[in-house]
């Protein structure tokens, strides 16, 4: 068996030049979008500050901390700050005709500060918008609905590996990369138009599946660039 001189082969193929640089840049473009899309749940599922809405006092008010808030809502410590409780409010015991007109008409006498009730309406702090205020995913017992978004993205990426390997061997990695990019883009657009939490989470899973295939194809193509091209 004749010996193979790898140095001569590499010399004949050429060094890392303009073609390889352009190819790496083109391969990196879909990778950038995959990373951005795959981590977007950090922002779309971000938790917010909110408090119970007090119909007897708020009226059209949307302020997070009006002057009378301590009369109507128990306070709690969070990150070293005293803020209104997220899911509890004091029980109303003395409704008057002036209730709902503003801060001056929301006295402590309107509430029993020894008895609290759960609320089913909320006012959020600031103008930030996530799935928390989109579908009222509030209170501690619902926090898992926020964290499951990231879990589904990476679960989808894990599930994609066997399928991505089969498609790569059968049709080629360029087909997998371009097809996965198209499907991930469509899924991302649909996720942005989701009208329910279930639809949003299903899109997270599907985008993880398509994005995982893109990553594996691009990684192998970059590693063996000279051979594949």
Measured CA to CA, the distance from residue 199 to residue 168 in angstroms comes to 29
- For residue 110, what is the DSSP state? G
CB-based contacts of 37: which residues, under 8 Å, 6+ apart? 184, 188, 207, 211
What are the residue ranges spanned by the domains of the chain? 16-44+145-228, 50-127
CB 191 within 8 A of CB 207: yes
In this predicted structure, what is the pLDDT of residue 91? 93
pLDDT category at 162 given cuts 50, 70, 90 is confident
Range in 15-24, 144-153, 178-187, 218-227 with the lowest mean pLDDT: 218-227
pLDDT at residue 32 greater than cutoff 90? no
In this predicted structure, what is the pLDDT of residue 62? 84
DSSP 199-213: HHHHHHHHHHHHHHH
Q: How many residues does the chain have?
A: 229
In this predicted structure, what is the pLDDT of residue 88? 94
In this predicted structure, what is the pLDDT of residue 170? 87
Measured CA to CA, the distance from residue 210 to residue 177 in angstroms comes to 9
Mean pLDDT of 78-106: 74
Average pLDDT, the chain: 84
Measured CA to CA, the distance from residue 98 to residue 57 in angstroms comes to 9
pLDDT per position as a tens digit, 183-227: 988 998 999 899 999 999 999 999 889 888 888 888 878 776 654
Question: What H or E segment, with its residue span, contains residue 65?
Answer: none
In this predicted structure, what is the pLDDT of residue 213? 84
pLDDT at residue 20 greater than cutoff 50? yes
pLDDT per position as a tens digit, 101-124: 444 568 888 999 899 999 989 999
């Amino acid at each position: 068996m004749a010996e193979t001189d790898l140095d001569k082969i590499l010399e004949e193929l050429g060094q890392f030049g303009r073609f390889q640089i352009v190819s790496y840049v083109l391969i990196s473009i879909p990778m950038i979008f995959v990373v951005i899309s795959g981590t977007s749940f950090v922002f779309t599922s971000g938790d917010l500050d909110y408090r119970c809405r007090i119909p007897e006092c708020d009226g059209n008010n949307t302020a997070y901390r009006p002057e009378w808030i301590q009369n109507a809502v128990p306070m709690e410590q969070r990150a070293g700050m005293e803020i209104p409780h997220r899911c509890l409010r004091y029980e109303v015991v003395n409704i008057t005709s002036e209730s709902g007109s503003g801060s001056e008409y929301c006295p402590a006498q309107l509430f029993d500060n020894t008895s609290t009730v759960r609320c089913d309406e909320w006012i959020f702090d600031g103008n930030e918008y996530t799935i928390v205020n989109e579908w009222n995913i509030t209170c501690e017992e619902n926090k898992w609905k926020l964290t499951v978004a990231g879990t589904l993205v990476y679960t989808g990426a894990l599930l994609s590996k066997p399928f991505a390997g089969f498609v790569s061997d059968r049709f080629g990695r360029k087909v997998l990369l371009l097809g996965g990019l198209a499907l991930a883009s469509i899924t991302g657009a649909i996720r942005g138009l989701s009208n329910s939490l279930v639809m949003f989470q299903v899109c997270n899973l599907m985008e993880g599946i398509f994005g995982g295939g893109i990553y594996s194809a691009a990684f192998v193509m970059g590693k063996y660039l000279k051979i594949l091209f």
